[in-house]
Amino acid sequence: MSPLPARSRGVIALIEENCTSCMLCARECPSWCIHIDSHTETVPASTEGGRDRTRTVLDRFAIDWSLCMYCSICIEVCPFDALHWSPELAAPEGDIRELTHERDQLEAWLASVPEPQPLDERAEPAKEIAAARRAADRARLGRQA
Protein backbone atom coordinates (compact mmCIF):
# COMPACT_ATOMS: atom_id res chain seq x y z
CA MET A 1 0.00 0.00 0.00
CA SER A 2 1.33 3.45 -0.84
CA PRO A 3 2.08 5.59 2.22
CA LEU A 4 -0.72 7.96 3.20
CA PRO A 5 -0.09 11.72 3.20
CA ALA A 6 1.26 12.97 6.54
CA ARG A 7 -1.89 14.86 7.45
CA SER A 8 -4.32 12.01 6.73
CA ARG A 9 -7.22 11.75 9.15
CA GLY A 10 -6.95 8.13 10.20
CA VAL A 11 -7.54 8.01 13.95
CA ILE A 12 -7.14 10.48 16.80
CA ALA A 13 -4.27 9.83 19.19
CA LEU A 14 -4.32 11.10 22.77
CA ILE A 15 -1.37 12.35 24.83
CA GLU A 16 -2.82 11.78 28.26
CA GLU A 17 -0.16 13.85 30.04
CA ASN A 18 -1.21 16.94 28.10
CA CYS A 19 -4.93 16.61 28.84
CA THR A 20 -6.21 18.84 31.64
CA SER A 21 -9.82 17.55 31.36
CA CYS A 22 -10.89 21.08 30.44
CA MET A 23 -13.88 19.64 28.47
CA LEU A 24 -13.35 21.98 25.50
CA CYS A 25 -13.13 19.13 22.95
CA ALA A 26 -16.20 17.37 24.36
CA ARG A 27 -18.17 20.63 24.19
CA GLU A 28 -17.09 21.63 20.71
CA CYS A 29 -17.59 18.17 19.20
CA PRO A 30 -20.56 18.44 16.78
CA SER A 31 -21.05 14.68 16.88
CA TRP A 32 -21.07 14.40 20.69
CA CYS A 33 -18.60 11.53 20.45
CA ILE A 34 -16.02 12.46 23.11
CA HIS A 35 -16.64 11.24 26.66
CA ILE A 36 -14.51 12.58 29.49
CA ASP A 37 -14.66 11.73 33.20
CA SER A 38 -12.37 13.38 35.70
CA HIS A 39 -12.09 14.16 39.39
CA THR A 40 -10.32 16.86 41.38
CA GLU A 41 -7.43 16.19 43.69
CA THR A 42 -5.98 18.47 46.34
CA VAL A 43 -2.27 19.12 46.15
CA PRO A 44 -0.95 20.27 49.54
CA ALA A 45 0.86 23.59 49.60
CA SER A 46 4.52 23.24 48.71
CA THR A 47 5.65 26.17 50.83
CA GLU A 48 4.78 26.96 54.42
CA GLY A 49 1.76 29.20 54.67
CA GLY A 50 1.00 28.60 50.99
CA ARG A 51 -2.39 27.61 49.71
CA ASP A 52 -3.48 24.08 48.85
CA ARG A 53 -4.12 23.71 45.14
CA THR A 54 -6.59 21.52 43.35
CA ARG A 55 -5.97 19.85 40.05
CA THR A 56 -8.19 17.73 37.84
CA VAL A 57 -7.21 14.15 37.12
CA LEU A 58 -8.42 12.40 34.00
CA ASP A 59 -10.36 9.21 34.68
CA ARG A 60 -11.80 8.42 31.30
CA PHE A 61 -11.24 9.69 27.77
CA ALA A 62 -13.14 7.86 25.06
CA ILE A 63 -14.01 8.54 21.44
CA ASP A 64 -17.02 6.85 19.89
CA TRP A 65 -15.92 6.14 16.32
CA SER A 66 -19.45 5.24 15.32
CA LEU A 67 -20.35 8.93 15.76
CA CYS A 68 -17.08 10.72 14.93
CA MET A 69 -17.18 12.50 11.57
CA TYR A 70 -13.44 13.21 11.40
CA CYS A 71 -14.00 16.99 11.38
CA SER A 72 -10.84 17.71 13.41
CA ILE A 73 -12.50 20.36 15.57
CA CYS A 74 -11.37 18.65 18.82
CA ILE A 75 -7.78 18.69 17.62
CA GLU A 76 -7.98 22.36 16.65
CA VAL A 77 -9.63 23.41 19.89
CA CYS A 78 -7.33 21.56 22.32
CA PRO A 79 -5.26 24.27 24.07
CA PHE A 80 -2.60 21.79 25.19
CA ASP A 81 -2.08 19.73 22.02
CA ALA A 82 -3.30 16.54 23.66
CA LEU A 83 -4.99 15.31 20.48
CA HIS A 84 -3.30 14.52 17.19
CA TRP A 85 -4.21 12.89 13.91
CA SER A 86 -2.52 9.62 13.16
CA PRO A 87 -2.66 8.40 9.56
CA GLU A 88 -3.28 4.88 10.85
CA LEU A 89 -6.66 3.56 9.77
CA ALA A 90 -8.43 2.04 12.76
CA ALA A 91 -9.22 -1.58 12.21
CA PRO A 92 -13.00 -1.95 11.95
CA GLU A 93 -14.61 -3.59 14.94
CA GLY A 94 -17.03 -6.44 14.56
CA ASP A 95 -19.47 -4.95 17.05
CA ILE A 96 -20.82 -1.40 17.23
CA ARG A 97 -20.38 -1.39 21.03
CA GLU A 98 -16.65 -1.89 20.59
CA LEU A 99 -16.34 1.25 18.43
CA THR A 100 -15.92 3.34 21.58
CA HIS A 101 -12.19 3.40 22.13
CA GLU A 102 -10.91 4.18 25.60
CA ARG A 103 -7.77 6.15 26.40
CA ASP A 104 -5.37 3.17 26.36
CA GLN A 105 -6.39 2.44 22.77
CA LEU A 106 -6.19 6.13 21.83
CA GLU A 107 -2.72 6.42 23.37
CA ALA A 108 -1.51 3.45 21.33
CA TRP A 109 -1.94 5.46 18.11
CA LEU A 110 0.65 7.96 19.30
CA ALA A 111 3.51 5.97 17.80
CA SER A 112 2.28 6.68 14.28
CA VAL A 113 1.60 10.41 14.72
CA PRO A 114 3.81 12.18 12.18
CA GLU A 115 6.27 14.87 13.18
CA PRO A 116 4.77 18.35 12.91
CA GLN A 117 5.37 20.01 9.60
CA PRO A 118 8.43 22.25 9.57
CA LEU A 119 7.78 25.96 10.05
CA ASP A 120 7.88 28.25 7.07
CA GLU A 121 11.17 29.90 6.34
CA ARG A 122 11.62 33.01 8.53
CA ALA A 123 8.58 32.13 10.63
CA GLU A 124 8.67 32.99 14.32
CA PRO A 125 9.87 30.04 16.40
CA ALA A 126 7.39 28.31 18.69
CA LYS A 127 6.85 30.18 21.97
CA GLU A 128 8.13 27.26 24.07
CA ILE A 129 11.36 27.07 22.08
CA ALA A 130 11.91 30.83 22.28
CA ALA A 131 11.37 30.73 26.06
CA ALA A 132 13.72 27.77 26.49
CA ARG A 133 16.37 29.51 24.40
CA ARG A 134 16.11 32.68 26.49
CA ALA A 135 16.50 30.64 29.69
CA ALA A 136 19.53 28.84 28.27
CA ASP A 137 21.10 32.15 27.23
CA ARG A 138 20.54 33.58 30.70
CA ALA A 139 22.13 30.52 32.31
CA ARG A 140 25.14 30.76 30.04
CA LEU A 141 25.61 34.46 30.77
CA GLY A 142 25.33 33.73 34.49
CA ARG A 143 28.11 31.13 34.24
CA GLN A 144 30.36 33.48 32.32
CA ALA A 145 29.93 36.30 34.84
Partner 1 sequence: MSWSDRVDQAYAAALGEASLRDEGFPPLTVEVPADRWVEALAVARDVLGCTFFDWLSAVDEGEGGFAVLCHVVARRTAGVEHLAVRCLLPRSRPVLASAAGVFAGARWHERETHEMFGVDFTDGGALLPMVPLLLPEEFEGHPLRKDFVLASRVAIPWPGAKEPGESEGAPATSRSRRKARPAGVPDPDEWGPR
Q: Which residues are at the interface with partner 1 (CB under 8 A)?
A: 20-23, 26-29, 32-40, 54, 56, 59-60
Nearer to partner 1, 30 or 116 (CB): 30
> What is the rounded CA–CA span in Å between residue 36 and residue 60?
5
Closest CB to partner 1 among residues 78, 113: 78
For the CB of residue 33, give the shortest distance to partner 1 in the complex, in Å: 8
Are the C-beta atoms of residues 95 and 61 closer than 8 Å to each other?
no
Which C-beta is closer to partner 1: that of 26 or that of 99? 26
CA distance 125 to 108: 29
Q: Could you tell me the smallest distance in angstroms from the CB atom of residue 138 to partner 1?
A: 34
CA distances from 119 to 9, 87, 139 (A): 21, 20, 27
